[in-house]
A and B are shown apart, each in its own frame.
Chain A
Amino acid sequence: MAGPRNISVSGASRPVLPRHAKLRYDETRKVWVILAPERVLAPDEIAVEVLQLCNGERNVGDVADQLAAKYAAPREAILVDVIAMLQDLADKGFLTEIREKTS
């Protein structure tokens, strides 16, 4: 089944790109793009890094940990930024999340 929509991103969510949104490196234009129906988004470097880390296993908190370690930056500030970016993507309809089966 398709992943849920209309998600609310938190530190515990495990977001992934849905099938209709594909993250790809565009060799011709030398930029990363997210391909979606009738749209092409241009994520910035950090957004690309976040999305690459969002593999369906890591939650947003883990992603913030990794970035905080890599950039030696305060984790809390990073977490806020990451959540904002992912929520923006979710509101545009280009993010879903992995949920445990409830039944």
Chain B
Amino acid sequence: MSDVTIPPSDSLAVLEKQRSTAETFGIPLAVLLEITHRCPLQCPYCSNPVELDRSGKELTTDEWKKVLSELAEIGVLQVHFSGGEPTARKDLVELVKHASDAGLYTNLITSAVLLTRERLSDLADAGLCHVQISFQGIEEGLADRVAGYKGGHRKKLEVAKWTRELDLPLTVNAVMHRQNLHQLPDIIQMALDLDADRLEVANVQYYGWALKNRAALMPTVAQLEECTGIVETARERLKGRLTIDYVVPDYYALRPKKCMGGWGRQFFNISPAGKVLPCHAAESITGLDFESVRSNHSIAWIWQNSDAFNRYRGTGWMKEPCKTCEFREIDFGGCRCQAFALTGDAANTDPACALSPLHETIFKQAEAEAAGETSRFLYRNFAGGTLESENGT
């Protein structure tokens, strides 16, 4: 997701944030709306905070509608309805309709297990532009075990079929880790068989729930290299047929990812309770106060002026080695949530960076975990997590 500045000269350039937004912090093009944390699945890598928002705290239908109108007004072009599981909200069709009427491009990011054909068709009629369905593997044994939900995989396949029957474009999102990376070639084939337009091969990012499950999820270096090769070959082969987006875990890289395009530069999301956040994991950083859409500030004000957004914006907050590093404007010191989770201070260099004093230790630990035997999951739920039983049920 990106920010518009100067129209690029290429006749069809993908809009990326360019230098001038660094000074102006233009309103992001796309915003992620986590309309609920409720979800019937229990993925051990869920990107939601470990402290989930209970349904009583969720914004009401009218509050979300007001948010949607406001977003359209200030120049947001796309909204992603996400969660938790967005279809767990009874008012989803109404919200999609409201967003479409306001001129927003709407995307549904769903686990699909709660959808009926009728509801999906209502969503299409309400103006939904795109559906993204997450898959945990290619066959029910593994997929349902990862999701901690029996019958989920089969249902997902069915909903994917309905999606295409209703002429809605489909993205298959596959979250990859040590226990399913071997299925990648078949996942690419599954995306083709489902007539998807786009496949997102997203390696798990290790904070929140995923960090608790790192030993069971972390791939080996060899696995990752193979995976990258498979993606590259498939991209070439499927040009114009299937777009493949690829997210690598940064543990094995020498430099960290430019997380969220830099804190407060081109992205924000809104939590079920209405907090405006620089990234979906930001609430894991304690000691930051996030403003809510329920406050008497506008969303644009929160984006431009709130302390949480300004705290790690740009490069002024950095310590060594980032402070004087030649890459500081390129990766903005990596991921603040990861820095906080692994070092206890979000202002430290993300340990995914080889220049971080902690990189060696953490890398070695991750490598050891990847080679280890642990495969039991800690499932994500409101109870703070449930450990998978010994025999994997």
State the A residues within 8 Å of B (CB): 1-2, 5-7, 18-20, 22, 24, 26-29, 31, 33-35, 37-44, 46-47, 85, 88-93
Q: How extensive is the interface on chain B, given as a class? A: 35 or more
In the complex, what residues of A have CB within 8 A of residue B195's CB?
2
Taking the complex as formed, is B2 at the interface, i.e. its CB lies under 8 A from any CB of chain A?
Answer: yes
- A29 to B24 CA separation, bound complex (whole angstroms): 13
* Residue of A with least CB distance to B169: A20
Contact indicator A20/B129 (Cβ below 8 Å):
yes
Contact indicator B130/A37 (Cβ below 8 Å):
yes
User: Chain B binding site: helix, strand, loop or mixed by DSSP?
Assistant: loop
Contact indicator A37/B240 (Cβ below 8 Å):
no
Which 10 A-B residue pairs are closest in the complex by CB-CB distance?
A: A28-B75, A20-B169, A35-B105, A6-B240, A29-B4, A44-B11, A40-B15, A37-B130, A6-B241, A91-B240
Contact with A along B114-156 (1 / 0, CB 8 A): 0000000000000001101000000000000000000000000
Taking the complex as formed, is B239 at the interface, i.e. its CB lies under 8 A from any CB of chain A?
Answer: yes
Known contacts A19-B167, A42-B7: A5-B15 contact under CB 8 Å? no
Taking the complex as formed, is B254 at the interface, i.e. its CB lies under 8 A from any CB of chain A?
Answer: no
User: From residue B33, how far is it (CB to closest CB) to chain A in Å?
Assistant: 15
Contact indicator B74/A28 (Cβ below 8 Å):
yes
Contact indicator A37/B197 (Cβ below 8 Å):
yes
Known contacts A26-B77, A42-B15, A43-B12: A37-B132 contact under CB 8 Å? yes
User: From residue B107, how far is it (CB to closest CB) to chain A in Å?
Assistant: 6
Known contacts A5-B241, A19-B168: A24-B103 contact under CB 8 Å? yes
- A41 to B10 CA separation, bound complex (whole angstroms): 10
- A33 to B4 CA separation, bound complex (whole angstroms): 10
In the complex, what residues of A have CB within 8 A of residue B107's CB?
37
User: From residue A90, how far is it (CB to closest CB) to chain B in Å?
Assistant: 6
In the complex, what residues of A have CB within 8 A of residue B74's CB?
28
* Residue of A with least CB distance to B26: A29
- A44 to B9 CA separation, bound complex (whole angstroms): 7
Contact with A along B308-343 (1 / 0, CB 8 A): 000000000000000000000000000000000000
